[in-house]
Amino acid sequence: MNAQSLYHEVILDHNRRPRNHGDLPDASGRAEGLNPLCGDRLTVSVRLDDGRIGAIAFHGDSCAICKASGSMMTQAVKGLPVAEARALAADFRAMATGEADEARTHRLGRLSVFAGVAQLPGRVKCAVLPWHTLGAALAGQAHADVTDAP
Ligand code: ZN
């Protein structure tokens, strides 16, 4: 399967069956993220257990790329220490904006299916929004606007 069809397959799969979809009643952090360029809006809630992401969930109203990115993000960061989740978010952002070299993109594993959005400037923020919102939730901020992101 080539990169393009793998990308479409993954997006479809995560839109049909988003993972960790919903809200955490016992969240220790929760943020609502907004991407006004596309109209994406999503809420990420996290529960920290001993400095690790013990539980995470997301829900919202977003385009397919944003929803798939959010779904895959929750799978990728669940169980990680907060510092590692932040590092992964930085790697993802670098990949989506075309600033990551091959080694850094490779470290992202399955998340690297989103490497192609770097060629689609209008979709970069759709893919980055869940990660940006996670960063806000971890920092104790209630709102995140991805147009403020560097
Ligand atoms: Zn979008």
pLDDT score of 150 more than 70: no
CA of 131 to the centre of ligand 1 (A): 13
pLDDT number for residue 6: 85
| SS3 category, 17 | coil
The answer to whether the predicted template modeling score (pTM) of the entire model surpasses 0.85 is: yes
Q: How far is the CA of 55 from the centre of ligand 1 (A)?
A: 25
pLDDT of residue 4: 82
Q: Give the contacts of 125 (CB within 8 A, at least 6 positions apart).
A: 35, 37, 38, 40, 146, 147, 149
Cα of 64 to ligand 1 centre, how many Å? 7
Going by the DSSP 8-state scheme, the letter that residue 22 receives in this structure is S
In angstroms, what is the span from residue 58 Cα to ligand 1's centroid?
15
- Compute the average pLDDT of residues 16-23: 98
- CA 70 to ligand 1 center in whole angstroms: 11
d(CA 46, ligand 1 centre) in Å: 22
- Burial of residue 43 (number of CB atoms within 10 Å: 0-12, 13-18, 19+): buried
Using the predicted structure, report yes or no on whether residue 136 has a pLDDT greater than 90. Answer: yes
What pLDDT, in 10s, does the model give residues 81-127?
Answer: 999 999 999 999 999 999 999 999 999 999 999 999 999 988 999 99
> Average of pLDDT values for 48-58?
97
